Amino acid sequence: EAGVTQFPSHSVIEKGQTVTLRCDPISGHDNLYWYRRVMGKEIKFLLHFVKESKQDESGMPNNRFLAERTGGTYSTLKVQPAELEDSGVYFCASSQVGTDTDTQYFGPGTRLTVL
Partner 1 sequence: DQQVKQNSPSLSVQEGRISILNCDYTNSMFDYFLWYKKYPAEGPTFLISISSIKDKNEDGRFTVFLNKSAKHLSLHIVPSQPGDSAVYFCAASATNNDMRFGAGTRLTVKP
Rounded least distance, CB 13 to partner 1, Å: 17
> Which member of 22, 51, 64, 111 binds partner 1 (CB under 8 A)?
111
Q: Tell me the window of 16-24, 51-59, 61-69, 72-80 that interacts with partner 1 (CB under 8 A).
A: 51-59
Closer residue to partner 1, CB minimum distance, 3 or 8: 3
Contact 52, 70 (CB under 8 A): yes
- Chain residues binding partner 1 by CB under 8 A are 3, 33, 35, 37, 40-46, 48, 55-56, 59, 89, 91, 93, 100-106, 108-109, 111
